[in-house]
Amino acid sequence: SAVISQKPSRDICQRGTSLTIQCQVDSQVTMMFWYRQQPGQSLTLIATANQGSEATYESGFVIDKFPISRPNLTFSTLTVSNMSPEDSSIYLCSVLPPDGVGYTFGSGTRLTVV
Amino acid sequence: AQSVTQLDSQVPVFEEAPVELRCNYSSSVSVYLFWYVQYPNQGLQLLLKYLSGSTLVESINGFEAEFNKSQTSFHLRKPSVHISDTAEYFCAVTNNYGQNFVFGPGTRLSVLP
């Protein structure tokens, strides 16, 4: 299965600032996904990052708040903009393997906004 | 639309005891079912999956899950747990490999010495 490197692994940020999270995959994948896991909760899909086109956002998430880049088939970034304490979460990058069977996840970025 | 219910938010169990983590889903179409595990301060790892064929699926570390279509369930079981099994376990369902992937709220398994 694909190996995903995600960084930073954790960060503490001031409110009003932005943080960019990077996701690197060791193989080419068509779709990459960004999830949020709020404290004590399950995972919520933020958006699907498509190479060569704009990301597709889920209900409740907008591009101005969570801009995504997908410059090639192995890399994506998610920016959390104008952060507030409510953005404190774990952000996870994931991909579908070539056989399309079950997501593979990165180790996540634990973000704390103070 | 699909949904996943994990009735037990927390399950404490003593080491070497058996455990069952419950998962029920709702869907109007055929589904694919997954269990993911999240160890403390780590990302999610795929534990096992049901796509088709045998309704009993196993993982390499002794967990198994059985797909029961009539009861719309995919409960996860292990006959004897270890301290190292302490983690959060998420059940997930999709009717399409790459889309509409829905996670349950998770069950925190705590294995006690």
Distance in angstroms (rounded) separating the CA atoms of residues A101 and B92: 12
Q: If we measure between CA atoms, which residue out of A90, A94, A74, A91 comes closest to residue A40? A: A90
The enclosing domain of A98 has a CATH number of: 2.60.40.10
Distance in angstroms (rounded) separating the CA atoms of residues B98 and B86: 29
Where do we find the tokens 């994990």? B6
Boundaries of domain holding A20: 4-107
A87 min Cα distance to partner chain B (Å): 18
Mutate to test the interface with A, among B44, B45, B103 (most CBs of A within 10 A): B44
Residues contacting A49, CB < 8 A, separation 6+: A31, A32, A33, A34, A55, A68, A69, A70, A76, A78
Higher pLDDT, B4 or A98: B4
User: Which residues are paired to A68 by β-bridges?
Assistant: A78
Burial of A87 (0-12, 13-18, 19+ CB in 10 A): buried
Does B45 contact A105 at a Cβ distance shorter than 8 Å? yes
Span B58-106, pLDDT tens digits? 998 899 999 999 999 999 999 999 999 999 999 999 876 556 688 999 9
| Architecture of the domain delimited by B3-112 | Sandwich (2.60)
Tally of domains within chain A? 1
Assess if residue A112 is contained within a domain: no
